[in-house]
Amino acid sequence: MEKLTRDDLWSLEDYAQNRALFRQQVLAHKRDLQLGLGANLRLLFEDRLTIQYQIQEMLRIERVFEPEAIQEELDAYNPLIPDGRNWKATMLLEYSDVAERRRALSELIGVEHQMWVQVGDSDKVYAFADEDLERSDQNKTSSVHFLRWELTDNMIAALRQGAPVRFGCNHPALTINSTLNLQQAEALNACLDATRHH
**Same domain? 155 vs 70:** no
**Which residue type does 123 have?**
D
CATH for 143: 2.60.40
Query: Is the pLDDT at 197 greater than 50, yes or no?
Result: no
One domain for residues 72 and 137: no
Distances (CA, A) of 143 to 43, 62, 77, 140: 12, 25, 20, 9
For 2-27, the pLDDT digits (tens) are 899 999 999 999 999 999 999 999 99
From residue 119, alpha-carbon distances to 47, 168, 192 in Å are 20, 12, 14
C-alpha separations of 164 from 18, 121, 156, 188 in Å:
37, 9, 12, 12
Does 58 map to a domain? Answer: yes
Number of domains in the chain: 2
User: Is residue 55 located within the same domain as residue 138?
Assistant: no
Q: What is the pLDDT of residues 102-119, one digit of tens each?
A: 999 999 999 999 999 999
The pTM is what? Answer: 0.87
Cα(108)–Cα(184) distance, rounded to whole angstroms? Answer: 26
Whether 68 and 94 share a structural domain? no
Is residue 42 in a domain?
A: no
Whether residue 181 is contained in a domain is answered as yes
Tens of pLDDT along 54-102? 999 999 999 998 999 999 999 989 988 998 899 999 999 999 999 999 9
Q: Which domain holds residue 70?
A: 1-31+48-81
Question: Quick one: 60 and 75 in the same domain?
Answer: yes
pLDDT of 132 above 70? no
pLDDT band for position 140 (cuts 50, 70, 90): confident
